Amino acid sequence: MASTSGTKGAGRLEGKVAVITGAGRGVGRACATAFASEGADLVLVDVPGDIVGVPYPLASESQLQHTAEACRKHGVEVLTAAADVRDLAALSAVRELSVDRFGQVDALVNNAGVVAPSGRPVHETSEDDWQLLLDIDLSGAWRMTKLFAPLLIERRAGSIVNVASTAGLVGYRNFAGYVAAKHGLIGLTKASALDYAAFKVRVNAVCPGNIRDEPAAEGRMLSEVARALDVPLAGHQALFTEQQPMNTLVDPVDVAEAVLWLSCDATRHVTGSTVTVDAGYTVR
């Protein structure tokens, strides 16, 4: 485990470089700090401001820098980059910065995503809303994979983890765009795993369930799901908790631990897998 005093130790990701999208808060922040604690140098990516059509504020530059500073306390090197996963040119620039700074990339975590615009049945969903969800939640991961997979292929090793959702495994009423994007992300995971297996590059997915809006991670996904469903924000976490067989919500760190496991050498023969972290929600 890496030291928190600013000196790196012998962690599971020592000597490796990881690129994480959506790193400004929530699961992305939890993944970044977990990777840093295990010795990984990091490239942390998040969108430079809000996105037209997404009905809630996205991570700010200050939140991304807060994540970076938390990671640096573990003695690792951290590069931050503002880039929209819809912008291939901006992501190409991130790749070049990553190579220039570190000379390699060993792990890619495709975490960037939005849960809304949602809250309407299929026939009331606008084309703009539909395309926006697909472009961020599915095509964003495809763009990052397109750009960074060649770096892993060159090293004949590495890991790609796509952060999907239980919405990639089951349906949710009035969330057709989000559900379609996350189902597509599972399909992208499986196809990519076959494409890169011969090069010893692993591709897996993690499917979180309802994630607690933990103050330390500054996440707000669950509250936005509640808003889309017209569920009162007062007490909404208790309501979602009742739906879980384990009678608990998932914490961001729970998801981060699964992503970390899939990114380290202990899972060098695991590819094309889908790991659920959902307190038993999809068992039923």
Residues annotated catalytic, as ranges:
178
What's the first-to-final CA gap in the chain, in angstroms? Answer: 37
For residue 188, which of 198, 200, 180 has the smallest C-alpha distance? 180
CA distances, 281 to each of 14, 164, 179, 183, 255 (Å): 34, 15, 16, 16, 15
Q: E strand or H helix at 67, and its extent?
A: helix 61-72
For residue 284, give the DSSP letter. Answer: -
- DSSP-derived secondary structure for 169-230: TS--TTBHHHHHHHHHHHHHHHHHHHHHGGGTEEEEEEEE-SBP--TTTT--HHHHHHHHTT
CA distances, 234 to each of 42, 116, 222, 239, 243 (Å): 37, 20, 12, 10, 17
